[in-house]
Structure 1
Amino acid sequence: MSAYGHQMEREFSGQSLLSSGDSGTEIGSRYNIESGFYMTSYAATIFIAGLLVTGVLLVTMVVSLAVMLQSCESRSKGMVKIEKERDSHRYCQILTLHGELNGFKPDEVPPFCRSLAIRHIKAGGYARDLDFAMRMIDSFFDSILPLNNSVDAVLMDIDDILVLDPQSNKPSCGIEGAMYLKQRRTLKLYMKLHSRGWSLILLSRKPERQRNFTIENLNSIGYRNWSSLIMRSNQETETNTSEYFSRRRKALKEEGKEIISVISSQMDALTCWSLGIRVFKLPKVPQFDNHLENCRFSR
């Protein structure tokens, strides 16, 4: 190769190295720029604020979940308690029904059933039960009329409505309040049936010697113009109550009376002979020993 050729080759090689060096520098610079992270102070502030907001939201979410879990746990415990109370209430209802059928005495009722009964009354449960029973009776007698005023009879048990002293103040709470409410609602029913022409026969378990006293009490409450008042004769004082009622109703039938309905809150008056077309049981007010309470009275 000529000297000129060698010179040209050296120059070309030098230029190539120079170019390669420049390219390396350019690539290295580009790499440094791309691998670094650069942001302005404004962008950094926004980024940090976003992280704080996200943290607050996460904490809030955790707290909310904890509250929800605690609430669910409390509600679950409440449901268990409610279920237990409902079970106790059902048990006491069944026990009361069998107690009425078999003539249980008040001291044979478990203490917790007594407490439930009083709570039921105080919460307005007895008033609702009585109202429902009265509406059933009204519905029946709204659909039927007496064909013969002196023959078609309705028998009404009066012993429960004479438990309270007619001269006493008007109790507004507890068992006495329930008794007074029943007394007034039964009188209202009596007056409605009387105005529609029904022959009303009053039933009592009391002995004949208390007739005058019983009539005075009935009059003081507001009862008037009943067809007859049935009370135990001297020979019936030891007779079983159901048998006593059966005998008296049979005698009424033999006299020509047509018994349409019997209304009572006690099972012994509703489970014997000649009950008519329809019988109605009014809810019974529990009568426990030492049940007097500190109530407010109204005149």
Structure 2
Amino acid sequence: MYLRRTLTVFLLFSLLSVTHSLRPENHLLLPSSRKLGRDDSVYCLSWRFSVEVNDAGEWATIPLRCLQFVSQYMTGEIYSSDLEIISAESLEFAKSVHIAGDGKDVWIFDIDETLLSNLPYYAAHGFGSEAFNEDSFDEWALEAKAPALAASLSLYRELQRLGFKIILLTGRSEPFRNATAENLKSAGYDNWERLILRGATDKGKLAAVYKSERRKELTDEGYRIHGNSGDQWSDLIGFAVSKRSFKLPNPMYYIA
């Protein structure tokens, strides 16, 4: 029920967009030179809605007719507006939380497409002019140049001001720890409580399982998880979940 308000606002802003015209494991984003027709716009808006509310399930590719739609959305004003609305809803909830002052009240953030944006990577590759290449994405991640998502950076800082401890829980693996920390700091994020990456024992685990296990370890240590922000449903579901979860939009890829 807590995601309902965010998703309702998400749909409203998505409808307005029609009037104006990571490490990903399984996705495909290809360019399209053809103009987006009205029928495609309506269909793709509905498709994106089904993705965000998780009705689409474990989807692997963007429908061919929606490639241009996704490109326009991710680089346009509506995506930024959606993020701002979700950040505002998150902050509204955060202000209602009583902070005990014992350092155990936490907010969890995913990293890719939640705190950091990998859009420069996709733009450099023609927004997926070729199938996703793991090696080239690893090179991009090691460069530590991904910019912050402005709305997320603002929320991050406001949560710290309110007294929350920040836990970063990412699907990136341990070899990327130094580059990830460097990238976060250069993008404006600092003073987090903990940065959790996949270890050797997490190899092959579904993201939802891995992240649930790490959240359980946190609660076993006495942390109270009030909020959780992520662009994938697998960031938010499972066990040891937060009191409220906030799903950021991402129609580019799906991670189980």
> Fold conserved (TM > 0.5)?
yes
Check 1:119–1:217 CA distance in 2 against 1; reply closer, same or farther (3 A cut): closer
The equivalences for 1:1-299 within 5 A come to 85-95=41-51, 97-98=53-54, 101-102=57-58, 104-105=59-60, 108-121=61-74, 124-160=77-113, 161-164=115-118, 183-284=149-250, 286=252
Normalising by structure 2, report the TM-score. Answer: 0.67
> Would you identify which runs of 4 or more consecutive aligned residues in structure 1 move more than 6 Å?
none
Q: Kindly provide the amino acid, as one letter, of the partner of residue 141 in structure 1.
A: A
Q: Structure 1's 205 and 233: CA in aligned 2 closer, same or farther, altered over 3 A?
A: same
Larger mean Cα displacement after TM superposition, 125-134 or 253-262: 125-134
Report the TM-score, using the length of structure 1 for normalisation: 0.58
Q: Secondary structure at the match of 1:162?
A: coil
1:147 aligned partner, one-letter code: A
Question: What's the % identity of the aligned pairs?
Answer: 27
Contact 2:40 2:65 in 1 (8 A): no
Q: How many pairs align?
A: 196
Deviations 1:74-103 (A, max 9, x none): xxxxxxx8577424421343256548742x
Larger Rg: 1
C-alpha separation between the residues in 2 aligned to 1:85 and 1:162? Answer: 28
State the Cα deviation string for residues 243-274 of structure 1 (Å, max 9, x = none).
Answer: 11111111111111111111111110111112
- Considering only aligned residues, what root-mean-square deviation do their CA atoms show, in Å? 3.0
CA distance in 2, matches of 1:120, 1:164: 14
Residue by residue over 1:151-194, the C-alpha shift from the partner in whole angstroms, topping out at 9 and shown as x without a partner, is: 111111112233449xx8xx9xx98xxxx886222111111111
Q: Secondary structure at the match of 1:201?
A: strand
Higher relative contact order (CA 8 A, sep 6+): 2
Unaligned stretches of 5+ residues in structure 1: 1-80, 289-299
CA, structure 1 residues 187+91, in 2 after alignment: closer, same or farther (shift >3 Å)? closer
